[in-house]
A and B are shown apart, each in its own frame.
Chain A
Amino acid sequence: MWVRSARERGVPSSCQPWQLLVGVLFLVGVMTLAALIGPADLPLGGVISTLLEKLPLLHVHSTLSVTDQQVVWQIRMPRIVLGALVGAMLAVAGATYQGVFQNPLADPYLLGVAAGAGLGATLAIELFPRTTSWPVSPVPLAAFAGGLVAAIVTFLLGRSGGRYRATATLVLAGVAVAAFFTAVQTFAQQRNTQNLQQTYAWILGGLTTASWQQVEIVAPYVVISAGVLVAYRRVLDVMSVGDEEADSLGIRAHRVRLVTVIFATLGTAAAVSMSGLIGFVGIIIPHTLRLVVGSSYRRILPLSVLFGAAFLVLADLLARTIAAPAEIPLGVITAFFGAPFFLMVLRRAGGSR
């Protein structure tokens, strides 16, 4: 889909094939590294052969014992894949919010979307504890509803004078909304005290309990949402001249904003309903990419998917190794890198206005 013919390569800001290739190789490399590292000391060849065995048409056989194969395929891989899905989604959603609201600090976590999704997910778990027999899990849907409500409230509160780009106002509104939704969510979970430890683990964010079943629930939401957002990459560049000029160029800016925010929120909500609250990925990845490949969303959106995925897999690898055998919550790792980064972006944004 991203491979362009030679004649199209002339579009100056298009994502270059080599950039995508670097992204893919980096992601595959990081995922392989994460599959290698863990409490059970497994040989490189064994892990790789186990992974290759799962690929169709390759006819590779694993050199590991059945138990070790289980470690790689049932414990490490679901966690890695879930991390990649969540990271990709948070990064591409952050870039999208920044584009359609023309606000460099827009991020699913800072806008309260993640907190709203968390509340939705918590309520769904409390109200419908037995959902394994349901054809569709209600958790991502409830998370989506919560996330969308939070997004709408934040934008209504933060839209000073009809403009979304008053950077600080939007973020302050997001902080207030996030605090409120988190408070309600904590209250809802406190009533069920046997889940208390799980609650806090969830709030801090983590992939500890990742399973293939969770991957199956989240994957369709993330793939569809990220796909739609990446398809809008050129339109997001048009949006950067403001609504009225975008309208004069034949784009219905309000409609584009509505559609992209819905998909960004849907994907984020599904991801967050499994991973808990993980902040700053949507700030770190798009802004780092801007420094390297320029400001065009044609590059930032597809590359955010790849590097967002790789970043979260790496962050999760750190979370489970630096204090092994204990685990540091993933949200702590992303905040550790993200908060200074956030301040840097805030300074730059403040300086340009």
Chain B
Amino acid sequence: MSVRVRDLTVSLSGRVVTEAVTTGIDRGGWLGIIGPNGAGKSTILRAIVGTIPYAGVVEIEGRGDIHHDRRESARMIAYVPQRPELPPMMRVCDYVMLGRTPHLSLFATEGPRDLQVVEEVLCRLELAHLRDRTLSEISGGEAQRAVLGRALVQEASVLVLDEPTTGLDLGHQEQVLELTDELRHERGLTVICAMHDLTVAGQFCDRLTLIDRGRVVVEGAVAEVLTPDRIRKHFGAAVEVVDDGVGGIIVVPRRRPRQR
């Protein structure tokens, strides 16, 4: 499903956090939200998910009223927060099963179809052997897969990820992102993802939105957004931008020559 955000303004405890943000992505695309710390990336994602109040329009597949019904909205948008709450005593299978919540009425119990969906996702994410472990007994990479699994069993067509590789080592970062990309193609998911690693953003995203101090600086294709000048201006970092030759972009930090 396509996602369009228009004039999104969010105030949290009286402070304007994002102002008049306009961006969007077509069905099946991967939109990266980048920007320095505190720019308002997470806030934009939370507004798209609908868990915080906002002014402006969030449209999913042309519908601007999806946040009126929480359950319906949760069937369209699945959310992986930056620091998910992981109840330490909860078992992996029970945790993933929570993702079926929007498909159940308040007092209903999961049926065979819910169990089947969870089973498929556990196998697809290679979590099946961990199903009876508690969340405190698995590694960070495994926990991140469990959170992704919970989002996938929602069977939403929009997946919102807030820096999904936070705290993971290089190998697990790559694993989670490749997995997300594979699932996007398998299931035709639209991905909106806040990212802090610009090389990763340059390799995985179709489009990027650069945010600074709550406002959109630039929005467009990866090569248009990631230029050394912009990165220096908004991140305060000196970098070199290299074309990886297969349609992606690599951003390499480069120390300024020291003047003695």
User: Which A residues are closer than 8 A to B by beta carbons?
Assistant: 4, 7-8, 10-14, 231-232, 234-235, 237-238, 240-242, 244-245, 247-252, 290, 294-296, 352
The proximity string for B residues 80-123 relative to A, scoring 1 for CB distances below 8 Å and 0 otherwise, is 01001111111101100111011010111111100100000000
Instruction: Please state if A249 and B94 are interface contacts (CB–CB under 8 Å).
Output: no
Q: Mark B42-79, 1 if CB is under 8 A from A, else 0.
A: 00001001110000000000000000001111110111
How many Å lie between the Cα of A132 and that of B32 in the bound state?
Answer: 70
Residues in B neighbouring A4, C-beta threshold 8 A? 109
User: Can you list 8 A-B pairs, Cβ within 8 angstroms, ordered by A?
Assistant: A10-B112, A240-B90, A245-B79, A247-B50, A247-B51, A248-B81, A249-B74, A250-B72
Tell me which of B70, B99, B110 contacts A247 (CB under 8 A): B70
Q: With A10-B115, A14-B109, A244-B81 in contact, is A295–B101 under 8 Å at CB? A: no
A11 in contact with B75 (CB, 8 Å): no
A249-B81 contact in complex given A10-B115, A12-B93, A295-B89, C-beta closer than 8 Å: no
- Chain B residues with CB under 8 Å of A247's CB are 50-51, 70
Interchain CB contact under 8 A, B74 and A241? no
Instruction: Identify the interface centre among A12, A231, A248: most chain B CB within 10 Å of its CB.
Output: A248
Contacts known (A13-B91, A231-B107); A245 close to B85, Cβ less than 8 A:
yes
Best-buried of A11, A231, A251 by chain B (most CB within 10 Å) = A11
Q: Does more than half of chain A's interface fall in helix, strand or loop, or is it mixed?
A: loop
Q: Tell which of A12, A235, A290, A295 touches B106, judged by Cβ atoms closer than 8 Å.
A: A235
**A240 to B74 alpha-carbon distance, docked (Å):** 17
Determine if B102 and A12 form an interchain contact, defined as CB atoms under 8 angstroms apart.
no
Among B73, B89, B99, B108, the residue within 8 A (CB) of A294 is B89
- Chain B interface bracket (under 10, 10 to 19, 20 to 34, 35 or more): 35 or more
Q: For the complex, give the distance between the alpha carbons of A14 and B98 in Å.
A: 13
Interface residues of B, Cβ cutoff 8 Å to A: 46, 49-51, 70-75, 77-79, 81, 84-91, 93-94, 97-99, 101-102, 104, 106-112, 115, 131-132, 154
Q: Which residue of A lies closest to B107 (CB)?
A: A231
**Residues in chain A near residue B101, CB distance under 8 A:** 238, 249-251
Question: Are A244 and B94 closer than 8 Å at their CB atoms?
Answer: no
User: Cβ of A240 and Cβ of B91 under 8 Å apart?
Assistant: no
Bound form: Cα–Cα A249–B96 in Å: 12
A231, A242, A251: most-surrounded residue (chain B CB, <10 A): A251
Complex Cα–Cα for A70 and B74 (A) = 59
Contact partner of A241 among B46, B50, B51, B85, CB < 8 A?
Answer: B85
Q: Which residues of B have CB within 8 Å of A241?
A: 84-87, 98
Least distance between B85 CB and chain A CB atoms (Å)? 4
Q: Let me know if B84 and A245 touch, CB within 8 A.
A: yes
Bound form: Cα–Cα A4–B46 in Å: 38
Q: Specify which chain A residues have a CB less than 8 angstroms from the CB of B102 in the assembled complex.
A: 249-250
Residues of B contacting A14 in the complex (Cβ-Cβ under 8 angstroms): 109
Docked-complex contact A248 and B51, CB < 8 angstroms: yes
Q: In the complex, which residues of chain A have a beta carbon less than 8 angstroms from the beta carbon of B154?
A: 249
User: Given A245-B81, A249-B101, A252-B70: A12 and B87 within 8 A (CB)?
Assistant: no
A250/B74 in contact, CB under 8 A: yes
The 4 A-B pairs of least Cβ separation, nearest first, read A250-B74, A250-B102, A295-B89, A250-B71
A249 to B94, CA, bound (A): 14
Residues of A within 8 A of B90 (CB): 237, 240, 295-296
- Within 8 Å by CB of A12, from B51, B75, B86, B94, lies B94
Whether A248 contacts B91 in the complex (CB less than 8 A), given A12-B97, A12-B131, A234-B109, comes out as no
Nearest-neighbour CB distance to chain B for A235, whole angstroms, equals: 6
The residue in A10, A12, A244, A251 that gathers the most chain B C-beta atoms within 10 A of its C-beta is: A12
A250 contact set on B, CB distance < 8 A: 70-75, 101-102
CB-defined contacts of A232 to chain B, threshold 8 Å: 106-107
